[in-house]
Chains A and B, each alone.
Chain A
Amino acid sequence: MTVNAKIAISGVTKRFEGAGGETVNALDRVDLDIADGEFLSILGPSGCGKSSLLNIIAGFEESSSGRIEVDGEAIAGPAPNRGVVFQEYALFPWLTVAGNIGFGPASRGFRQSEIDGLVVHYANLVGLQGFERRYPHELSGGMRQRCALARCMANDPDIMLMDEPLAALDALTRVALQDELLRIWSEASRERMKTVVYVTHSIDEAIFLSDRIVVMTPRPGRIRGEFTVPFARPRQAEIRVHDDFHGLSDEIWLMLQAEMGR
């Protein structure tokens, strides 16, 4: 275990009872250290336990055994220093964009003037200025996810947990938001790099965004391999057509392919 790990996951197992009464190992003895300020992607097909792992780190679910420490302390339930962005946005439909972004600071007892300032700042950061008084149902999918991102960041969490945040979007919006995500992340991390744990089933998305990629395979959910992404930051959209990008993509694909054909 590295000494300076931001998130230290050791021996995490998640078992639950399947429909037929059999025991399903969603996660099987997962060990993973995530460094401070790292952008780590967990990549894998559906059912590999990647979302389960994220939910356990978030504190939404408990592991059957094993331990997760953040800054050296075992986690106990959800906390505002571990922000979450969901695939389905999970915006509060009864609140406006401003209400959603301000929800975290308001929950933590900030004064209204401070909340208003944070709302303006983060709405600008994600490109939602002018939409503060709209309700989520009046926004497009891409704008909803921007709003969810701003809501998460308004709490200034050290860790951002993202569960396939772009999976519900169309291909073009998705690529555009990948670029945006990196820009927003680096701007929000100006004072201190935020650690990101990003769950996805898209190889290219994982490569484009991450410093490191962990590949998981299902039945039982295990970490099968690890890849370091060599591209420097800030990353330009063009690296997607770089030969090294394709090389890495093929390598990961072959690993997944071999596992799936097992």
Chain B
Amino acid sequence: MPNKTNKSPHKPNEPKKENGSLEKLQHPTEGGAKEPRALEGRDKEHRASGFLYQVGAVVFALLITTIVLLAAGVGPFQAYKAIILGAVGSWDLVSNVLVSWVPLLLATSGLLVTFTVGLWNIGIEGQITLGAVFTTWAMRAMQDSGWNPTLILVLAILAGMAGGLLWALLAGALKTFGGVNEIFGGLGLNFVATALNIWLIFGPWKRPGIASMSGTLPFDRSLWMPIAAGSSRLTPASLVIAIIGIIIVYLLLENSYFGLRLKAVGKNARSAYMLGIPTWQHMMASFAICGLFAGMAGAIQVTAVYHRLIPSISSGYGYLGLMVAMLVGFKASIAAPVALFFAALNVGSIQLPIILKLDSSLAGVLQGTLVLCVILGQGIRTQVQKKKRATP
């Protein structure tokens, strides 16, 4: 689709937008207003200082984590080394990183779309869970049918996407028709999804004999997503799906008229409405897209990772995806490597309790500190620039 329609004042490549996407959540009307003075050279300087602040934020985050580690009485370098070795120490570990990269990247991809229209889709955890539940339901219905396993897997994944879609549209409807803020509606739906999941595992879908926290009965091996040679868990098909997913989101947001309109709604819903962009329809559409991605993540957790339904099937990938999306400043172009880094931290810290008797939540501490420092760094930078502009 041609994207050169320049009728809207919101050009896709406004220089300021790239660095200021976090503050956009707060000042939707600020942004392009004072642009004309932004010359080429100044833009370059702008970007360079942005990079500097980001590096500073990362260094600062490492510093804080180091202090936390010292406070806990652990050698920080020992801990960092253990995490790195835990993530890349062997091919099996690397493939584990990729296994957890897939759902994280899918969740992040979906969230980039909702963030673009200015929505905080915290309900993504529940959308992943519903995806997993629907996939399991479809698998259970088809596992004895004798159909081609590939067909069953494809249909099951589609069912999972439908589940995520349903839960996302529910949050969207609560927001657009009920006036319930998407954060609180989403949170409530997350808890409901968890309850539904646990009820199914302990009730109708319980293992023959005794129901337990270890989940439902695993599916037959022929219904597992094919695993790569030489790996214990990595499934190439899911990798391909995740990569295609982020590319679709990138093209959608950066290269399509639809993405442009989503941005317009996110920047300033009122003026977008005035320009004739149907606002709530775009919000619902972004919820729907995010739900499809989340449902896909849940479906992959069932068909490729656990081969059954477990109580914590979403594994917190939705919340982690929110962190990744914030860290990349809602830019699709760098979401994949950052999500990979976060997945590596998660996998790398699994061994910490055994090696160093440290809690594996260290990964979360590192990730959280990093995002917090980047947000604070961004704030400090805008303040410094404001002062500079005030005193030329």
Decide whether A and B assemble into one complex.
Answer: no
Give B contacts to A, CB under 8 Å: none
Give A contacts to B, CB under 8 Å: none
